[in-house]
Amino acid sequence: MPSVDPPTAGPPTIDPPLALLAELTHRCPLACPYCSNPIELERASSELHGEDWRRVLREAAALGVLQVHFSGGEPMVRRELATLIAEAASHGLYSNLITSGALGGEREIAAFAEAGLRHVQLSLQDHEAANADRIAGLAGAFERKMKFAAAVRAAGLPLTLNMVVHRQNLDGIAEMIDLAQSLGARRVEIAHVQYYAWALENRAALLPTRAQLDEATRIVEAARERLKGVLAIDYVVPDYYGVRPKSCMNGWGRQFLNVMPSGTVVPCHAAQTIPGIDFPSVREASLADIWYRSDAFNRFRGTGWMPDPCRDCDRREIDWGGCRCQALALTGDAARTDPVCALSPEHGVIEAALTEAAAAPAPFIYRRYR
């Protein structure tokens, strides 16, 4: 397919997307209470077919996308995964598999490597089996993950461990880093839970205390120093404890697009929670049209939409006003400044959540696919 030129009319500064998140399905054997999938999970019957996904991959490459992340739910639920990896590779796309590691093993991983997979990100809930399985909501999941990690290494693929940390596993962070080393990972991504979707439902169970956070940060910084050149450690702190927000998705519609299982295309995981935006589908429009011309991708692009105090702030092209979905969830209006920012008039909602975090944690509400 020939490459797609940006339109000559319209917003002048839109670069092609860097990466496509291909959410092949919302089906998943795990039930993590911080899942970034929407509360209303999409049904298997509404999922795109393999041939639709192959077209999406072709269009993505023509649009200028460089990386495709196969994700879900659990992407290995989809039996066409190896053929989709091969399709991505045939268009020069770098493909990454983001998986729970709860399905499949050596045979599947070898087939993916053969098809052109370049990298695997495996989620890990804790270093200790009982708590890991409790958080994942699946007995035996930890054991399967250990075998899966070994299969990835046996296939010669680079392995990153994704550790989502929160109040109920943060005290084991040193042991989690040790485990990553013993599994032969090259990189760990230690990311504090971000509070959208299922995680927002479970915030009172997941938000760490300040003391926990400070100790974990100290351990991570020491490990980074100690393991320089051996294990790369990325660390994403919880924005509730910051004074300025994160640059969510590096800005709305700037670098990323997510194609959901049904084909709906969104700029971020939680975008569909924002009312009044008609999110387009790959069933009806090309990725290029969606990226350059859709209202959904242009709605919060750049700085023109910004309210005070973002409008005149010297960080407006650094954090892009923070997260639109968090602004909606916590203020009721996606066009407000992210209340994580201490300059936001609504910053008090964050302080109230942190006060709540000092109390005993609530039980989990698990994400179940029914």
Contacts with ligand FES, residue ranges (CB under 6 A): 196, 248-249, 252, 268-271, 323-325
Q: Is residue 321 part of the contact set for ligand SF4 (CB under 6 A)? A: yes
Partner from ligand SF4, ligand FES, none contacting 338, C-beta within 5 to 8 A by type: ligand SF4
Q: Are 122 and 149 in contact (CB under 8 A)?
A: yes
Q: Is residue 200 part of the contact set for ligand SF4 (CB under 6 A)? A: no
Q: Which of 343, 349, 353, 354 binds ligand SF4 (CB under 6 A)?
A: 343
Cβ-based nearer residue to ligand FES, 275 or 363? 275
Partner from ligand FES, ligand SF4, none contacting 30, C-beta within 5 to 8 A by type: none
Distance (Å, rounded) from C-alpha 277 to C-alpha 271? 9
Q: Is residue 91 part of the contact set for ligand SF4 (CB under 6 A)? A: no
Judged by CB under 6 A, the chain residues 159 through 178 that form the site for ligand SF4 are none
Q: Which of 30, 48, 213, 313 binds ligand SF4 (CB under 6 A)?
A: 313
Distance in Å, CB of 333 to ligand SF4, minimum: 14
Cβ-based nearer residue to ligand FES, 41 or 248? 248
Q: Are 208 and 167 in contact (CB under 8 A)?
A: yes
Q: Is residue 244 part of the contact set for ligand SF4 (CB under 6 A)? A: yes
286, containing H or E segment? none
Q: Is residue 58 part of the contact set for ligand SF4 (CB under 6 A)? A: no
Interstrand relation of 187-192 and 232-236 (parallel, antiparallel or unpaired): parallel
In degrees, rounded to 5, the angle at the alpha carbon of residue 94 between the alpha carbons of residues 91 and 95 is: 105
Distance (Å, rounded) from C-alpha 306 to C-alpha 30? 38
Distance in Å, CB of 27 to ligand SF4, minimum: 36
Q: DSSP characters for 90-133?
A: HTT-EEEEEE-S-S--HHHHHHHHHHT--EEEEEE--SSHHHHH
Which residues 6+ apart lie within 8 Å of 74 measured at CB?
25, 27, 28, 29, 30, 99, 100, 102, 103
207 HSE (CA, 13 A, CB side): 23
Residues of this chain that interact with ligand SF4 (CB under 6 A) are 244-245, 309-310, 313, 315-316, 319, 321-322, 337-338, 341, 343
